[in-house]
């Protein structure tokens, strides 16, 4: 009887293992959609794949895992991820579900690294938890950092680009021609130049100027960009000379940048109070402590 019970347990266990193995095989063998190479995000994806390295090797895994995670993710959450990726310059050309897959892989990698560290060096088992949390948050921190840096670069360099556009328009060029001259003279990795290149691409595809500039304002929702786009759209609608409008817009953007710099400088003095107070206390302790020790020794305390 005991032999029969043991045999049944072994058969049941083997059946469960085979069932899980079959499900895993079906999932692994399921087709994976090709990478998206269309649109602005597709261009970023192609650049990422051409860079090669470890990140390029992760592309099939991210697409496979993202396709499995997509049905499990809420549509609202996917929309928020898509918006964040757009503001970060279409981070690696990833789709929202692929970004979620990257977060999951980073979480698993952090837990694995922390577990290896704890086991090999005999450290606390709290290490996998800490490394897992950091690994899961790393993609979000990276995207937030890129978004903040892009917005700051665009705000700093837009007045100078508007001045160059004004010079081109004053020389007799139309807006696309002046914009093309500025982009060709200032090629590089700057976020503003990349955004203007995308505007030129959309104009070359037959999109209207208003649509291309509206898309620019969507991708870079800084206040100076919103005013720049609104000024050009209104000038085009009402027939106002564009060079004069851009001169005024450049001056306004420059004044705003100066005001922001002055505000940051005024806040810096307040923020420095606490570090200066701590530094003063530390210096005071260095000076007073030897005197106190000598007095304690002299009085035999």
HEC per residue, 97-111: HHHHHHHHHHHHHHH
Of 8-22, 155-169, 188-202, 249-263, the poorest mean pLDDT is in: 8-22
- Given a cut of 60, is residue 266 above it in pLDDT? yes
Q: How confident is the model at residue 23 (pLDDT cuts 50, 70, 90)?
A: very low
Q: What is the mean pLDDT of residues 162-188?
A: 80
212-237 as b/e: b if 16+ CB within 10 A: bbebbbebbebebbebbbebbeebbe
pLDDT at 12: 52
What is the distance between the alpha carbons of residues 260 and 262, in angstroms, rounded to a whole number? 5
Query: What residues have CB less than 8 Å from 75, skipping those under 6 apart?
Result: none
Query: Which has more confidence, 49 or 229?
Result: 229
- Mean pLDDT throughout 250-260? 74
Q: What share of the chain is helix, strand, coil (3-state, %, to 5)?
A: 85, 0, 15
Work out the average pLDDT over 277-284.
83
Q: Does the pLDDT of residue 77 top 80, yes or no?
A: yes
Domains of the chain and CATH, by start? 37-148 (no CATH), 151-257 (1.20.81)
| DSSP-based three-state secondary structure for 132 | helix
Looking at the chain, the whole-number percentage of residues with pLDDT higher than 90 is 0
pLDDT band at 26 (very low <50, low <70, confident <90, very high): very low
pLDDT higher than 60, residue 301: no
| Residue 112 clears pLDDT 70, i.e. is over it | yes
């Amino acid at each position: 009887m005991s032999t029969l019970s043991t045999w049944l347990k072994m058969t049941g266990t083997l059946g469960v293992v085979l069932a899980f193995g079959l499900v895993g095989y079906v999932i692994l063998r399921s087709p994976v959609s090709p990478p998206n190479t269309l649109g602005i995000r597709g261009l970023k994806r192609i650049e990422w794949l051409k860079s090669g390295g470890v990140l390029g090797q992760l592309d099939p895994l991210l697409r496979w895992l993202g396709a499995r995670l997509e049905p499990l993710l809420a549509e609202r959450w996917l929309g928020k991820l898509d918006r964040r990726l757009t503001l970060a310059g279409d981070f690696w050309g990833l789709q929202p579900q692929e970004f979620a897959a990257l977060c999951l892989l980073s979480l698993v990698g952090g837990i694995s690294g922390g577990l290896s560290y704890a086991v090999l060096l005999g450290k606390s088992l709290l290490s996998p938890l800490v490394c897992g949390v950091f690994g899961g948050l790393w993609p979000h921190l990276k995207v937030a950092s890129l978004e903040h840096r892009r917005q700051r670069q665009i705000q700093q360099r837009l007045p100078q680009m508007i001045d160059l556009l004004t010079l081109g328009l004053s020389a007799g060029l139309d807006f696309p021609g002046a914009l093309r001259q500025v982009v060709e003279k200032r090629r590089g990795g700057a976020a503003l130049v990349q955004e203007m290149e995308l505007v030129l691409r959309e104009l070359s595809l037959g999109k209207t100027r208003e649509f291309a500039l509206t898309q620019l304002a969507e991708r870079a929702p800084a206040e100076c960009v919103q005013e720049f786009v609104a000024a050009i759209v209104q000038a085009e609608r009402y027939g106002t000379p564009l060079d004069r409008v851009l001169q005024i817009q450049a001056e306004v953007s420059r004044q705003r940048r100066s005001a922001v710099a002055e505000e940051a400088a005024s806040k810096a003095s307040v923020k420095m109070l606490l570090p200066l107070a701590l530094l003063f206390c530390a210096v005071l302790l260095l000076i007073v402590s030897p005197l106190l020790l000598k007095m304690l020794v002299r009085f035999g305390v």
